[in-house]
Amino acid sequence: MHKIVAAESGGEPYIGKVAVAAVIFNRVNQNSSEFGFGLEGVLTKKNAFTPYNYKTSEVDMGANEVTEEIKKAVQEARKGEDPTNGRLFFCTREHAKKTSTKEIPLVIGDHCFYYEFFY
């Protein structure tokens, strides 16, 4: 989980890291085939997280590393901190500009957070 959060939000402010971790836990709490069952199922769901290669089970960390801040953000989200208020999806602002959605996203750092799948 730390690697996914680092890869997805390594350059984001602390609250953005907590938000990405919260989305993962929100998906776990859905306990559905849409997102996968349990933490491992959510993290390894095909096409769920860009940095995860489901064929090799490797995470492309890019230039990001698992830092103490990442670990703290994951722990905070695990304890129930959720700046997204239950949202289940996120993307970069750049990607959000290219998609059409009726929902106005919650913006934290460079990510937009959504309740529903938007593209």
Which residues of the chain are modeled with pLDDT < 70? 54-55, 100-102, 118-119
Q: Indicate the SS3 state at residue 111.
A: strand
pLDDT of residue 47: 84
Of all residues in the chain, what percent are helix, strand and coil, respectively (each to 5)?
40, 15, 45
Q: What is the pLDDT of residue 119?
A: 58
Tokens 């990607």 found at: 95
Distance between CA 105 and CA 87 in Å, rounded? 10
Residues 6 or more apart from 75 whose CB is under 8 A from it? none
Q: How far apart are CA 15 and CA 34, in angstroms?
A: 26
Q: Which CATH number fits domain 2-86: 1.10.3720.10, 1.10.10.2520, 3.20.20.190, 1.10.287.610?
A: 1.10.10.2520
Cβ atoms of 76 and 21 within 8 Å: the answer is yes
Task: Quote the pTM value.
Answer: 0.91
The reported pLDDT for the residue numbered 53 is 75
Q: What are φ and ψ of residue 93, in 5° steps?
A: -60, -40
Q: What is the pLDDT of residues 1-14, one digit of tens each?
A: 999 999 999 999 99
